[in-house]
Amino acid sequence: MYKKFEMELAGRTLRVDVDRVAKQANGAVFMHYGDTTVLCTATASEKPREGIDFFPLSVEYNERLYSVGKIPGGFNKREGKASENAVLTCRVIDRPMRPLFPKDYRNDVTLENLVMSVDQDCSPELTAMIGAAIATTISDIPFDGPISTTQVGLVDGEVVFNPTAAQKEASDMALTVASTKDKVIMIEAGANEVPEDKMIEAIFAAHELNQKVIAFIDTIVAECGKPKHTYESCAVPEELFDAIKELVPPREMEEAVFTDDKQTREENIRVITDKLEEAFADKEEWLEVLGEAVYQYQKKTVRKMILKDHKRPDGRAIDEIRPLAAETDLIPRVHGSAMFTRGQTQICTVTTLAPLAEAQRLDGLDEAETSKRYMHHYNFPSYSVGETRPSRGPGRREIGHGALAERALIPVLPSETEFPYAIRTVSETFESNGSTSQASICASSMSLMAAGVPIKAAVAGISAGLVTGDTDDDYLVLTDIQGLEDFFGDMDFKVAGTHKGITAIQMDIKIHGLTRPIIEEAITTTKKARTFILDEVMNKTIAEPRAEVGPYAPKIIQMQIDPQKIGDVVGQRGKTINAIIEQTGVKIDITDDGAVSICGVEADSMAEAKRLVEIIVTDFEAGQILEGKVVSIKEFGAFLEFAPGKEGMVHISKISKERINHVEDVLTLGDIVTVVCLGKDKMGRISFSMKDVAK
**635 and 680, same structural domain?**
yes
Mean pLDDT by 10 residues, the chain (695 residues): 95 97 97 98 95 92 95 87 94 96 95 97 97 98 96 96 96 97 96 96 97 98 96 88 90 88 88 91 86 89 89 90 96 97 96 92 84 95 91 90 96 93 97 94 98 97 93 92 89 96 95 94 96 97 95 90 91 90 91 89 90 88 87 90 87 87 88 89 82 81
- State in Å, rounded, how far the first CA of the chain is from the last one: 94
Query: Does 35 carry a binding-site annotation?
Result: no
Query: Is 145 inside a domain boundary?
Result: yes
pLDDT (0 to 100) of residue 523: 96
Query: Is 187 inside a domain boundary?
Result: no
pLDDT (0 to 100) of residue 623: 85
Hey, what amino acid is at 191? A
Residues 272, 256 contacting (CB under 8 angstroms): yes
**559 and 643, same structural domain?**
no
**215 and 245, same structural domain?**
no
> What is the biggest distance separating any 2 CA atoms in the chain, rounded to whole angstroms?
117
Last residue of a domain, one of 541, 576, 608: 541
Q: How far apart are CA 391 and CA 383, in angstroms?
A: 11
Structural domain span for residue 589: 555-617
Q: What is the CATH number of the domain that holds 202?
A: 3.30.230.70
**584 and 606, same structural domain?**
yes
pLDDT (0 to 100) of residue 85: 94
Query: Is 174 inside a domain boundary?
Result: no
pLDDT (0 to 100) of residue 75: 84
**103 and 80, same structural domain?**
yes
Query: Does 486 carry a binding-site annotation?
Result: yes
User: What is the helix (H) or strand (E) element at residue 84, kind and residue range?
Assistant: helix 84-97
pLDDT (0 to 100) of residue 411: 97
Instruction: Give the chain's radius of gyration (CA, Å).
Output: 32
pLDDT (0 to 100) of residue 66: 95
Residues near 248 by Cβ (< 8 Å), separated by ≥ 6? Answer: 272, 275, 276, 297
Q: How far apart are CA 645 and CA 637, in angstroms?
A: 19
Query: Is 164 inside a domain boundary?
Result: no
Q: What are phi and psi of 631, to 5 degrees?
A: -115, -15
Tell me how crowded residue 301 is: count the other CB atoms within 10 A of its CB: 22
Helix pair 124-138, 196-224: axis angle to 10 deg: 40
**135 and 15, same structural domain?**
yes
Q: What is the CATH number of the domain that holds 602?
A: 3.30.1370.10
pLDDT (0 to 100) of residue 466: 94
pLDDT (0 to 100) of residue 222: 97
Query: Is 314 inside a domain boundary?
Result: no
pLDDT (0 to 100) of residue 285: 83
Hey, what amino acid is at 620? F
If you count DSSP H runs as helices and E runs as strands, how many of each does the chain have, helices first?
A: 17, 29
**383 and 283, same structural domain?**
no
Strands 646-651 and 637-643, sheet pairing: antiparallel
Query: Is 76 inside a domain boundary?
Result: yes
pLDDT (0 to 100) of residue 51: 81
pLDDT (0 to 100) of residue 675: 92
Q: How many CA atoms does the CB half-sphere of 187 hold within 13 Å? A: 32
Tell me how crowded residue 181 is: count the other CB atoms within 10 A of its CB: 16
**462 and 350, same structural domain?**
yes
**563 and 530, same structural domain?**
no
Query: Is 176 inside a domain boundary?
Result: no
Last residue of a domain, one of 260, 284, 309: 309
**71 and 217, same structural domain?**
yes
Helix pair 262-279, 238-247: axis angle to 10 deg: 110
Helix (H, G, I), strand (E, B) or coil at 432: coil
Tell me how crowded residue 69 is: count the other CB atoms within 10 A of its CB: 8
Q: How far apart are CA 313 and CA 254, in angstroms?
A: 8
Provide long-range contacts, Cβ within 8 A and 24+ apart, for 591-596: 592/563, 592/566, 593/563, 594/560, 594/561, 594/562, 594/563, 594/565, 594/566, 595/558, 595/559, 595/560, 596/558, 596/559, 596/560, 596/561, 596/569
Residues 359, 413 contacting (CB under 8 angstroms): no
Q: What is the CATH number of the domain that holds 656?
A: 2.40.50.140
Query: Is 392 inside a domain boundary?
Result: yes
Residues near 383 by Cβ (< 8 Å), separated by ≥ 6? Answer: none
pLDDT digits (tens, 9 = 90+) for 131-169: 999 999 999 999 998 999 999 999 999 999 999 999 999
**337 and 254, same structural domain?**
no
- Interior angle at CA 595, CA 593 and CA 599, nearest 5: 150
Q: How far apart are CA 306 and CA 618, in angstroms?
A: 74
**562 and 440, same structural domain?**
no
Residues near 482 by Cβ (< 8 Å), separated by ≥ 6? Answer: 262, 313, 314, 322, 343, 344, 345, 433, 434, 435
- Split into its structural domains, the chain has a count of 5
pLDDT (0 to 100) of residue 90: 97
pLDDT (0 to 100) of residue 157: 93
Last residue of a domain, one of 260, 275, 309: 309
Helix (H, G, I), strand (E, B) or coil at 216: helix
Residues 528, 552 contacting (CB under 8 angstroms): no
Instruction: Please state the pTM of the whole predicted model.
Output: 0.88
Residues 181, 241 contacting (CB under 8 angstroms): no
